[in-house]
Structure 1
């Protein structure tokens, strides 16, 4: 499984959707998840870059798992997601900082068709507040953006979550450029 995580970690970094040591990736397997370790370089994931932790409760390995493990747990416990990507996409983060509402409405045809709207939720990194808000936003959306922090996208596979991540960033970039052109 770590090889699949490595593939999408590299894609995230190569496409400028996250800086190497930021963001995280997880996959649910039954009542556990495999998640990247805290500080893992997403473009250099190896077998030693991931850790397996329970979805219910905590474990001794939580201390080396991603700081967003609590958020991934909440998402898995409250949605049918089997894979999660968290990236710090620059246009997506920018849109949360300039948005005047709690969601972004895409302007591009693909964003309108596939995303409809992109929820913005709040909470400090790695907190129960962020976990609860993320799980709520993703209960009826495939992707959402944590204010000033980045995207969380879910799917049945990492490929699904990656497509949602790229669509969110594309829609946010288009919206930013259109809004800039209107000034």
Structure 2
């Protein structure tokens, strides 16, 4: 099973880079299976991801694999704890979402029927330093009422029952951000 999970993480990490949803070292994806979380390793580049660059931690944050997890592991764990229905998380750095986080206030307007159906709303969480428990707490709170959150000056987090679902929700957030930004007068 872990081989299939790692293959999914590799596939969607590379796809995120190809679609311009993240660059260089930015972003990370995770999948929860029981009490274990499979997550991109620290220092891994999404475009070059391999199965060996997938870390495994338990729900307390203890490293199970020989590979260290992304510095954003606290963010992923906080969301999994606050949303037991979530089995996968996409944390990406799409450009229009980041720019919109500095211009929109409170929430990003929903721009398409698909975004309304699958996201309902897109709150903007206030800035907190990357990799901190403060960021994890503010995002876990914001995601209680939505499947997507934009983090001010940082990126986005989307959740789903599968990594495929979380990934496509991320695309919907970036599409909404792009349409909103281009439509501003």
Deviations 1:112-157 (A, max 9, x none): 3332321111311011111011111111211111110001011111
Q: Please name the residue that 2:155 is paired with.
A: 150
| Helix, strand or coil at the partner of 1:139 | helix
Q: Give distance in 2, aligned partners of 1:50 and 1:165.
A: 20
| Helix, strand or coil at the partner of 1:34 | strand
How far is the alpha carbon of 1:61 from its aligned partner?
A: 6.2
How does the TM-score come out when normalised to structure 1?
0.92
How does the TM-score come out when normalised to structure 2?
0.91
The equivalent position to 1:47 in structure 2, one of 34, 45, 51, is 51
Superposed, 1:88-127 pairs within 5 Å as 88-99=93-104, 101-122=105-126, 123-127=128-132
| Helix, strand or coil at the partner of 2:7 | helix
Q: Which runs of 5+ in 1 are unaligned?
A: none
Q: Please name the residue that 1:65 is paired with.
A: 69
How far is the alpha carbon of 1:20 from its aligned partner?
A: 3.3
Q: Does residue 18 of the first structure (1) align with residue 26 of the second (2)?
A: no
How far is the alpha carbon of 1:93 from its aligned partner?
A: 0.5
Q: Give distance in 2, aligned partners of 1:134 and 1:161.
A: 15
Q: Give distance in 1, aligned partners of 2:66 and 2:141.
A: 23
Deviations 1:46-89 (A, max 9, x none): 12111111112434869821010011010011102111111001
Q: Give distance in 2, aligned partners of 1:62 and 1:46.
A: 14
Deviations 1:27-64 (A, max 9, x none): 10111101111121112221211111111243486982
How far is the alpha carbon of 1:108 from its aligned partner?
A: 2.8
Q: Give distance in 2, aligned partners of 1:111 and 1:60.
A: 36
Q: Give distance in 2, aligned partners of 1:13 and 1:57.
A: 26
Deviations 1:85-109 (A, max 9, x none): 110010000100111x211112333
Q: Which runs of 5+ in 2 are unaligned?
A: none
